Chains A and B, each alone.
Chain A
């Protein structure tokens, strides 16, 4: 099951050209949806206006080298490691879902364009990665949906209360879950594979076609916002306090006597416990 390219098997009933056209249409839908989102909400316009305004108010000059270093840090910490999440469980769930999605999408495209029929043998690593990616999305996504998301974990709300903000996560989970069930049934030759394939195509179309209304585009907006956040900290426009205990002058202050014998690193404090004392 896990070693079989489900799209090559499907080529017996659906021509590879149709599958390839579907993938291209999905890519175009994401591109068009994101552009529409940017124009309709004016988010890019706001971002660059805010950027110009903030930089002119900066109390410290951030040079080109520092800007590059901030960009690298944003890429490594905030994007690749989901470093913005302060809740460790949310961060792990996000990493699982994000990398699962990347693996799943890339292997889907490779199998559909590289090995579309059974005539060309698919390297077993590709379907294996496709399954692993899909399962990573399911683990991260369902864990987030039922246990981690804030209105369930913190507000005690029902996990079955749905709203438009859930469009992305729900269509993603539906698409992947139905895709895995379809692949499983098709390999086993069981009945119902066609029904699940139809549902899989509907959920996938909703996922990629609903970009202007869903949270899909956060994968493009979030890195920009994270970069801006780091720059505003570096140039002082966020107005955050800068005094620290590392400064010898501050250590001499009367109020600091309490910390005279305290260790330099006193631990996590409130972050030690998950917020569930409501």
Chain B
């Protein structure tokens, strides 16, 4: 369930751009509001949804309860240390959850992104996402393929 932004609620503060581990939350160059540039690359960690101080980011529900009248909304109350979810299904069923926030302080998670040097101008101008070259092995012998991994495709399953 990738995320999306209500453009009229976003005030362009940049918290989602800052926190997105997949580097897909960006600022629209025309409207200067945040948007998810590539929902198919969304990890669905919902860090942006929780970080948004304006409640402007929501979750696009899966097909079993989307798109008719569904809603998935979250309120991350840092002062109280809780995160609350309200899921409204398309048949009207409503589910409410309340849990403690378990986010670790900045710089304590692994990998320690606080220690990673900032991107170069060339990286900023590139169409590639953060870590994309590494994850698809563009900088380590090319793309993974069935052949390079000694695999064969049988009946749609890798053996």
Give 23 CB contacts A-B under 8 Å: A85-B13, A86-B54, A150-B12, A150-B32, A154-B14, A155-B26, A157-B29, A165-B31, A225-B8, A242-B84, A244-B82, A245-B82, A245-B98, A256-B100, A266-B81, A267-B79, A269-B76, A269-B101, A273-B106, A275-B17, A275-B19, A277-B18, A277-B19
B interface footprint on A216-239 (CB within 8 Å = 1, 0 otherwise): 000000000100010000000011
A20-28, A187-195, A257-265: which one contacts chain B? A257-265
A interface footprint on B81-124 (CB within 8 Å = 1, 0 otherwise): 11011101000000011111111001000000110001100001
Q: How many A-B residue pairs have CB under 8 A?
A: 133
- A124: interface (CB < 8 Å): no
CB distance from A106 to the nearest CB of B (A): 27
B interface footprint on A114-150 (CB within 8 Å = 1, 0 otherwise): 0000000000000000000000000000000000011
Among A245, A271, A273, the residue within 8 A (CB) of B53 is A271
CB distance from B65 to the nearest CB of A (A): 14
Report which residue of B14, B74, B96, B114 has the largest number of chain A beta carbons within 10 angstroms of its beta carbon: B14
For residues 79 through 111 of chain A, which have their beta carbon under 8 Å from a beta carbon of chain B?
Answer: 84-87, 90
Expressed in whole angstroms, the Cα–Cα distance for A241 and B85 within the complex equals 6
Expressed in whole angstroms, the Cα–Cα distance for A157 and B17 within the complex equals 13
Cβ–Cβ < 8 Å partners of A273 in chain B:
106
Cβ–Cβ < 8 Å partners of B103 in chain A:
269
- B55: interface (CB < 8 Å): yes
Cβ–Cβ < 8 Å partners of B19 in chain A:
270, 275, 277
Give the interface SS of chain A, mostly helix, strand, loop or mixed: loop
Cβ–Cβ < 8 Å partners of B31 in chain A:
165
Q: Do B17 and A242 touch across chains, with their CB atoms under 8 A apart?
A: no
Expressed in whole angstroms, the Cα–Cα distance for A250 and B100 within the complex equals 11
Q: Do A151 and B29 touch across chains, with their CB atoms under 8 A apart?
A: yes
Residue of A nearest to B96 (CB): A243
- A240: interface (CB < 8 Å): yes
Q: Do B81 and A262 touch across chains, with their CB atoms under 8 A apart?
A: yes
- B144: interface (CB < 8 Å): no
Q: Do B13 and A246 touch across chains, with their CB atoms under 8 A apart?
A: no
Expressed in whole angstroms, the Cα–Cα distance for A46 and B106 within the complex equals 42
Cβ–Cβ < 8 Å partners of A48 in chain B:
none
- A253: interface (CB < 8 Å): yes
Chain A residues near B (Cβ < 8 Å): 84-87, 90, 149-151, 153-157, 163, 165, 225, 229, 238-246, 250, 253, 255-256, 258-259, 262, 264-271, 273, 275-278
- B5: interface (CB < 8 Å): no
Cβ–Cβ < 8 Å partners of A242 in chain B:
84, 86, 96
Q: Do B80 and A244 touch across chains, with their CB atoms under 8 A apart?
A: yes
Q: Do A243 and B84 touch across chains, with their CB atoms under 8 A apart?
A: yes
Cβ–Cβ < 8 Å partners of B101 in chain A:
269
Residue of A nearest to B116 (CB): A277
Among B29, B32, B86, the residue within 8 A (CB) of A241 is B86
Residue of B nearest to A266 (CB): B81
CB distance from B25 to the nearest CB of A (A): 10
Among B55, B77, B79, B114, the residue within 8 A (CB) of A277 is B114
Q: Do B27 and A151 touch across chains, with their CB atoms under 8 A apart?
A: yes
